Amino acid sequence: MPRIITESEVEQAALDLLKELGYTIVYGPDISEGGINEERKYNEVVLVKRLRNALQRINKDIPKEAIEEAIKKIKRTDSQNQIINNQSFHKFVTDGVPVEYKTKDGIKHNYVQLFDLKEIKNNEFLAVNQFTIIEERNNRRPDIILFINGLPIVMIELKNPADENATTKSAFDQFQTYKMLIPSVFRFNEILVASDGLEAKAGTLTSNFEWFIPWKTIDGKKTPKTQPQIEVLIKGMLNKECLLGLISHFIVFETDKDKKDGPNKNSKKTCCLPSI
């Protein structure tokens, strides 16, 4: 009888692939309140110390007080609408965070960049598993969150392939629950990945399940025929250079005029995943 694969083994396999790509693997409880390297409270989804260090490293010519102003803007939500908040953050990703500060020549207007697209090594990539989030008494623990410079950019939900009821669809359904119960983390999310340990599909905050689709290639040229979809997606889509390029240049928001959903429904789409 073949050995049954457990969900924790699926999670570990994904973490091992991310480690191969150069991600630092962090166990969520270790950096949460009460952990051995406490960095955040359970109601905080941004790793502020890491964000501050990264912004100072990337934006060397911008004074510290302007960096602090940028951090406040990054964390602040101005709307009750989840998609509007996400779109506002994505504008920071593409354009930078507008700040102003005094110089000897007067007030200077500038932009704090969240990521270094030229020197990938200047960015910090973490894969954090079992990252508990408590929001308004709702306690949830996504399987893996990928942080870039302290920002929770990618969420991965994994299901057990040995369980016939645990599918990519059930992982997608889990995202819908998270969006209702721990909405703050979705201000920063760029990509969602649903997997049963073998199949893997990616989408955005607004994608319906039919628009969650597999990533087709590791090297950008050919489609592997024998490797599991989760391996292809992680190695092809979530490698550092591809992921930074994807979230910085290939994501757009569009207004869909669909009478069923109202005339002003915003959709988040990436042209690297057709039809999302």
Q: What is the mean pLDDT of each run of 10 residues along the chain (276 residues)?
A: 71 97 98 97 98 98 97 95 96 98 95 98 98 97 98 95 83 97 98 94 96 90 84 96 96 75 70 48
The type of residue at 178 is Y
Which of 253, 169, 262 shows the shortest CA–CA distance to 210? 169
In CATH terms, 7-270 corresponds, of 3.20.20.70, 3.90.1570.50, 3.40.190.10, 3.40.390.10, to: 3.90.1570.50
Alpha carbon distance 224, 228 (integer Å)? 9
Q: H/E element holding 255?
A: strand 251-258
The type of residue at 101 is Y
Alpha carbon distance 171, 157 (integer Å)? 6
What are phi and psi for residue 266, nearest 5 degrees? -85, 135
Alpha carbon distance 71, 63 (integer Å)? 13
Residue 151 gets which letter from DSSP?
E
Measured between its terminal Cα atoms, the distance across the chain in Å is: 40
Q: Domain extents for the chain?
A: 7-270
What are phi and psi for residue 140, nearest 5 degrees? -135, 155
Which of 110, 113, 130 shows the shortest CA–CA distance to 122? 113
Q: How far is CA 73 from the centre of its chain?
A: 18
Burial of 165 (0-12, 13-18, 19+ CB in 10 A): exposed
Alpha carbon distance 145, 153 (integer Å)? 7
Residue 3: predicted pLDDT: 53
Single pTM value for the model: 0.94
